[in-house]
Amino acid sequence: MGARARRRAWPERVFLALFLPGVLAFYAIHKYPRVVLDLVGSRDGTSVFHLAGKAPGFWYASVYTALVCGTCLWILLGGRNQYQAKKKKGPLSRYQRSKFLSILLAQLIAFYLVPYVLPALTRPEGFFQDPVAVGGKAAHVYVWPAFTSVGGAVYIFLVIPLTVWFFGKRYCSWFCSCGNLAEAVGVLPWGARWVRERTPRGPGARKVEVTQVIVLLFSLFFGVMLLLDGLALATAEGLLQSVAAVQDLFIDFAFGSVIGVGAYPLLGTRIWCRYGCPLAQGMKLVGALTRSRFAVQPNDKCRGLNLCTAACPMGIDVASHAHRDKQPLEQAFGLDDTPCIGCGSCIESCPVDALAFAPLVGK
């Protein structure tokens, strides 16, 4: 854990009691509607879960987008640095303004209007007539979609590596839909405390990050199987179905969705990003191969206050790069040695401006 976790007040406890079952129920209905109906003994079709003719996925995306975009607007219009202590909040930096504007636009356009609103507006049946579809999440964070479409391959093997080369893993804090929610929740009063007090930290927590390598290997294995099957070069239908079922149940449903979102109040906002997301592990490899210039650089102003470590949602011990026994170390770190996503929380939270991103171009 991070800083000593304070006792939760009763409104937060009530929220917790509703939030965790709510996330579990939503994803169960979204992903396995038939199973849920069978469990409750209903003979109705899966459209019983529709509300005003719209599928559960639409409503979930609407709430998700409203939360992310509403928080971004609050941050941008308020203009205060939410990473600093309550009474000392300075103005929001240009970096954070750009980040929250990027999150707002990405979430609204790429992850809401394009997939959920525009197609429904052009359907002959009308906007409020969603078809009954079992929710699948072929999100590109899983890597295997790169093996099933040219667009997916270009995105994962070309676009993402280029962004990593030039900007480090800022994709994760400026654009990705999962990251958008994490960044937004991380500046809300409860969310900031979950990051500070619940994020797993220390050498043991770092070692567990190896799970992400396992998920990447699994995702690549699944992708190659799908490619061979798609090209009719080799197929093993039973095995393919079993691997798909494992991917759906354990990686997408249990890890990526229920734990990835439901565990925010228990383990901070970036559990999936740190221990699960195979794309993040792929980005780390690309960063090492391309010798990305991305790095956080401490300077000689560090006073050993350790606020930077507590602010990091990825559980990085930022202060150990900045000082030893309160003597400045000035040890830069980047993609090779940490899972840093370039969110800038550590930089914003340091009261003496002892941290900055190293220049991406130049010497």
- For ligand SF4, the binding residues (CB under 6 A) are 141, 172, 176, 178-179, 272-273, 277, 279-280, 296, 298, 302-308, 311-312, 314, 316, 318-319, 322-323, 340-346, 350, 352, 354-355
Q: E-strand spans in 245-319?
A: 295-298
For residues 324 and 347, give the distance between their C-alpha atoms in angstroms, rounded to a whole number.
18
Nearer residue to ligand SF4 within complex by CB, 131 or 304: 304
- What is the nearest approach in angstroms of ligand SF4 to the Cβ of residue 228? 26
Q: How far apart are the first and last CA of the chain?
A: 38
Nearer residue to ligand SF4 within complex by CB, 75 or 343: 343
- What is the nearest approach in angstroms of ligand SF4 to the Cβ of residue 176? 3
- What is the nearest approach in angstroms of ligand SF4 to the Cβ of residue 139? 8
For residues 217 and 277, give the distance between their C-alpha atoms in angstroms, rounded to a whole number.
11
Nearer residue to ligand SF4 within complex by CB, 126 or 304: 304
- What is the nearest approach in angstroms of ligand SF4 to the Cβ of residue 351? 7
Nearer residue to ligand SF4 within complex by CB, 192 or 318: 318
For residues 79 and 76, give the distance between their C-alpha atoms in angstroms, rounded to a whole number.
5
Contact 186, 71 (CB under 8 A): no
Contact 334, 283 (CB under 8 A): no
Greatest C-alpha distance within the chain: 69
Residues forming a β-bridge with 356: 297
Nearer residue to ligand SF4 within complex by CB, 57 or 260: 260
- What is the nearest approach in angstroms of ligand SF4 to the Cβ of residue 171? 6
Contact 50, 130 (CB under 8 A): yes
